[in-house]
Structure 1
């Protein structure tokens, strides 16, 4: 059969008759890969499609409430969504991505063991590890005597057709592929991880899940820019895209949903990496707050929203006298440019000379804060460190503008309620301090 070659961008799917260094659609470099497609003139003619005779209107279709499968990991089920009954929807295809070494394979194996422990059959397919290596990791997570009782099948293979055939033969309740970039098929061109193989493998898994109503997890690697390796259409083909992020030094892991057809994408799950794998952080307050019984200058609490969940987080600041012509500004967990902007506002409208100090700002617990509701807490923590005054039971929740004004943030009532629940009384917001100057006075920092 005659064929022709085209070049396809593995980032946006743009096609070209010749190789291009820069994709004109997504403006990314070195993303074009060669792909062979059959020639239309010599390709085998397919039969004409027949019209569907018993086509139903949407009113005639009966809706069935499918019971979700719980992973027994509450934080993971929270991200998958589902209201009161959270978990995996039967026939759902879920893509899990994240940086190397972040814990993707670990949490997938934990889910496989948990679901198998409830009496269900699970097939774990790995194209990166041998069966004995998977067993070693499983023994670190669960007891060896308990593993013997579970119907958890392990297959070390890079053949996607073999994996799907085995899952069909064993009539499993869950299929896990680790990872999509390592599997391939003889029915598709290219090497494992290439554009044709990724398309074929993903479509094979989607068709299997929808036909059998068996949920499928597969792991996807990310590029150095932090995006999912492969074409963006990979994310469009699946039902749910999860992203596991965190700091390798602190062990904090945050699971986010980038796409979810059956749940809310704003929900997040918080974990910590331990010896036996990823563990849920049930008491979030104790993890993201420092020692409160030792009140020292430079500490202020704020409330950030991670999805629909309010989290109490401690902001720590340290101001050190310096003789440098350009004082250092170091920030962990908050953008450095944001800290520099707040320092300028603090100097102009808070009348605090910050030029004589090296300023260091840190978020306890390794959490990364992107929203501006923590602006006031950052300013209060820096002012507290410079003045040497402690902030006793103070919570700052507000955005700070360039004119020194405080602004309303989303879910303010929910944040205030969360702070009061843990005993904080002096909660400074736009409701009782309309400017940074008034906030400093209320915190005894003027």
Structure 2
């Protein structure tokens, strides 16, 4: 008989332990070690290195065909941008996001669009066929409320057994397969439960092998943990070709589809959608949408130009200072990094002379966007200084630059693209770091105000402090 062995696997990081422990020694998560039973093979197998059967043959790279990958056109511009220009046949894409953020809605909407080019198989392990049909009827209504006919090439099945799913794929032979979700799929020959580390890893590996051998594009929907990362082992993100995160506040209309990993395109690319009754609607000009409700000439508001992949976005950064009622002043960021906020407030206190030691500081990025690059430091600093002095920032001015600990402004990348986007939206001036090396000329249509330090930049940006 085959020998059995018991081990404990962390469901967060995949670490294997020989005994049960309350806390994982790898990632520090509590109560994450789950018992798994491993059945050893009864017969002794030959070592892979001693096999005489060769399934592959080395060839010169010049003889291999494939000048460029042929992509399937996706009639959804924002989604296609994030993927790198379309869907690559044989690729496997992982889509993650918080519960209720719209992952199933977005993927079903994409499937209905792609069904016009061939067969699409939607495999659901969480919802019934009637539930998905109700969502499809809602998505297929036009702006006047008229129902469009559902495509006959859109196939639907509810199944969690991976062996049965593979049989359905072989029988249907679709061009695109969507698995909703990878945590509900299981292999019956494995003793662990669905959603465990071993099940998720093995099921994803089987689907990857099928995608690479048959040329079928795979989309896997994945759950996220309370920390906001894909549930399951980190190796799951290494198995797939592309990792997409659907982000956004649940009480906001905007949804951001962000590319974290992409073997066929640029990473950190962002697609902007608006959640409506008839599904996800593309936002072709997200900068204009983020600034639509801006209150002009209000103290504590500044415009930053951030780069999301290859796209420049203009966002409103709001700052508010208030006398603290506690011993330690609070620093509350929403959409910016907490450590960058601490750095900016320290520089404003020491280098500019603002007395923020007795002030609570709140910073918010309008629209639910999360800005992580240092190019928004100057806009954050100007918004805080504007609120502290109760003086508005110039309404037609954008602020771009990284703030150093000495109070100096540092150059950021892709400055021309940022300034061109600001000029296209009607902004007349931009406060930027002083250029040390003369390279390409400034773009036309916008006045460039160069500053060497943060003190000089704030003087240029605030309304009452004329140049």
Same fold (TM over 0.5): yes
| Alignment partner, residue 162 of structure 1 | 164
* Residues 57-96 of structure 1, C-alpha deviations (whole Å, 9 max, x = no match): 3233222544211231111111111xxxx11111111111
Q: Report 1:27-426 matches (<5 A).
A: 27-40=28-41, 42-43=42-43, 45=45, 48-51=51-54, 55-63=58-66, 65-81=68-84, 86-116=85-115, 118-143=116-141, 145-291=147-293, 294-320=296-322, 326-354=328-356, 357-392=359-394, 393-426=396-429
| Match among 432, 436, 441 for residue 429 of structure 1 | 432
Structure 1 segments unaligned to the other structure (5+ residues): none
Alpha-carbon distance in structure 2 between the residues aligned to 1:70 and 1:53 = 31
SS in structure 2 opposite 1:415? helix
Contact 1:80 1:260 in 2 (8 A): yes
Alpha-carbon distance in structure 2 between the residues aligned to 1:87 and 1:100 = 26
Alpha-carbon distance in structure 2 between the residues aligned to 1:67 and 1:155 = 28
Contact 1:33 1:195 in 2 (8 A): no
Alpha-carbon distance in structure 2 between the residues aligned to 1:109 and 1:305 = 29
Residues 1:366 and 1:46: Cα distance change in structure 2 (over 3 Å): same
Alpha-carbon distance in structure 2 between the residues aligned to 1:357 and 1:25 = 40
Shift of 1:253: 1.8
Contact 1:119 1:150 in 2 (8 A): no
Alpha-carbon distance in structure 1 between the residues aligned to 2:253 and 2:56 = 57
* Residues 215-268 of structure 1, C-alpha deviations (whole Å, 9 max, x = no match): 111111111222221122222222222121211121322222222222221312
Please give the root-mean-square deviation of Cα atoms over the aligned residues, in Å: 2.6
* Residues 331-389 of structure 1, C-alpha deviations (whole Å, 9 max, x = no match): 32223443343233223322333456544322121211112211211222222233333
Shift of 1:440: 2.1
Contact 2:14 2:232 in 1 (8 A): no
Contact 1:298 1:384 in 2 (8 A): yes
Q: TM-score when scaled to structure 2?
A: 0.86
Residues 1:15 and 1:336: Cα distance change in structure 2 (over 3 Å): closer
Shift of 1:327: 4.8
Alpha-carbon distance in structure 2 between the residues aligned to 1:255 and 1:397 = 24
SS in structure 2 opposite 1:148? coil
Contact 2:112 2:151 in 1 (8 A): no
Residues 1:35 and 1:405: Cα distance change in structure 2 (over 3 Å): same
Structure 2 segments unaligned to the other structure (5+ residues): 435-449
Shift of 1:165: 1.1
Alpha-carbon distance in structure 2 between the residues aligned to 1:362 and 1:13 = 36
SS in structure 1 opposite 2:299? coil
| Alignment partner, residue 2 of structure 1 | 2
Q: TM-score when scaled to structure 1?
A: 0.90
Contact 1:6 1:16 in 2 (8 A): no
Contact 2:245 2:259 in 1 (8 A): yes
Alpha-carbon distance in structure 2 between the residues aligned to 1:45 and 1:403 = 65
Contact 1:3 1:36 in 2 (8 A): no
| Alignment partner, residue 458 of structure 2 | 440
Paired positions, count: 440
Contact 1:256 1:269 in 2 (8 A): yes
SS in structure 2 opposite 1:254? strand
Contact 1:189 1:197 in 2 (8 A): no
Residues 1:237 and 1:356: Cα distance change in structure 2 (over 3 Å): closer
Alpha-carbon distance in structure 1 between the residues aligned to 2:18 and 2:298 = 66
Alpha-carbon distance in structure 1 between the residues aligned to 2:25 and 2:325 = 50
Shift of 1:55: 4.1
Shift of 1:3: 2.5
Shift of 1:299: 1.7
Alpha-carbon distance in structure 2 between the residues aligned to 1:246 and 1:53 = 45
Residues 1:200 and 1:384: Cα distance change in structure 2 (over 3 Å): closer
Contact 1:301 1:315 in 2 (8 A): yes
